[in-house]
Amino acid sequence: MNKEIFSEKAFKLILKGTGIVIFMIPALLLVTLIVQSVPAVRAYGAGFIFRQTWDPVREIYGALPFLAGTLVTSFLALILAFPFSFSVALILSEYLKEGTAAAIVKSAVELLAGIPSVIYGFWGLLVLVPLIRKLELAAGIPPYGVSILAASIILAIMIIPYASTIAREVMSMIPPDIKEAAYSLGGTHWEVQRKVVIPTSYSGIFAGVLLALGRALGETMAVTMVIGNTNKLFSNIFEPGNTMASVIANEFTEAVSDLYLSSLIELGLLLFIVTALINFIGRLIIKRFEVKGAGE
């Protein structure tokens, strides 16, 4: 019996220990990134964020082009993806719960979610980029093809499954009796969506947009492959650029000097902090929404 008591104690200890280890991972990750960024922070301070030049040869590192690239591609992708994600969420949660159309949309979204990022990038590079190049030629703009725009389009396709899943979850948290009440007053499908479902899920939808933004900010491979990898600040979305993630992917293995590496890691640190914050806020809103939705 003593042996059993011992193993029981040991088991509980292991459980708790694992919990502590898992809790430590992001903390350790943060500390690691901070420590590794110290040389860059020391060298540039806050100027790192505002400087336009990124020149490894002269050892000048400014992150502005990448910050701009990340923000512009992510927001553009969000805007492009929004109507689709929103419609998909409406279709799957409210409009056509059954039927072939809903089933097709549902599997399409699931399959899109399963395609690896690198394949999106490859497809974008060989199919989308030439298409954009043709359009640019026709419009008389420099035909880069690889561009902020290409990256945004690929990103948009990639975040649709994620955003629509969250929006759908949020909408399905709305107590069904509220919808029933609306129908019992003679509301049509559309009116019930417009005036009950959507207003009730505003905060949840906002959280979904935030979480999708978090996804888009950190997405690396697909963006790297179609954005053109230029360290100059772009002046319009048809020009090539770079995002924080894509410049890390591109230059990390080539970074020879400590300052170069440290600057790249500082980009990673910024990315980590921003995505962690966005995710935290998004999850918090959804949790509140969950509580509000379930217990009247």
Which residues lie below 8 Å from residue 158, measured CB to CB, with a gap of 6+? 77, 112, 117, 120, 215, 216, 219, 222
Q: Which stretch binds another protein (CB under 8 A): 38-46, 58-66, 107-115, 230-238?
A: 107-115
Q: How many residues sit close enough to another protein to count as binding (CB under 8 A)? A: 106
The span from the CA of 167 to the CA of 162, in Å, is 9
Candidates 44-52, 103-111, 133-141, 234-242; binding stretch for another protein (CB under 8 A): 103-111
> Exposed, middle or buried, 213 (CB in 10 Å: 0-12/13-18/19+)?
buried
By CB under 8 A, is residue 205 in contact with another protein?
A: no
Minimum distance of another protein from residue 51's CB (angstroms): 21
Q: Binders of another protein among 26-65, rule CB under 8 A?
A: 26-29, 32-33, 36
Site for another protein in 230-259 (CB under 8 A): 245, 248-249, 252-253
Encoding tokens for residue 25? 């991972």
Q: Least CB distance from residue 10 to another protein, whole Å?
A: 8
> According to CB under 8 A, which one of 48, 54, 132, 219 is a site residue for another protein?
219
Contact with another protein (CB under 8 A) among 95, 135, 206, 237: 95
Is residue 263 helix, strand or coil?
Answer: helix
Candidates 146, 131, 116; CA nearest to 226 is 146
- Of 187, 206, 237, 290, the one binding another protein (CB under 8 A) is 187
| Closest C-alpha among 138, 141, 153 to residue 227 | 153
* Residue 97 DSSP class: S
**145 dihedral zone (left: phi>0; alpha: psi -120 to 50; beta):** left
Q: Which is nearer to another protein, 21 or 235 (CB)?
A: 21
Tell me which of 2, 57, 98, 139 binds another protein, using CB under 8 A: 98
The yes or no reply on residue 268 touching another protein (CB under 8 A) is yes
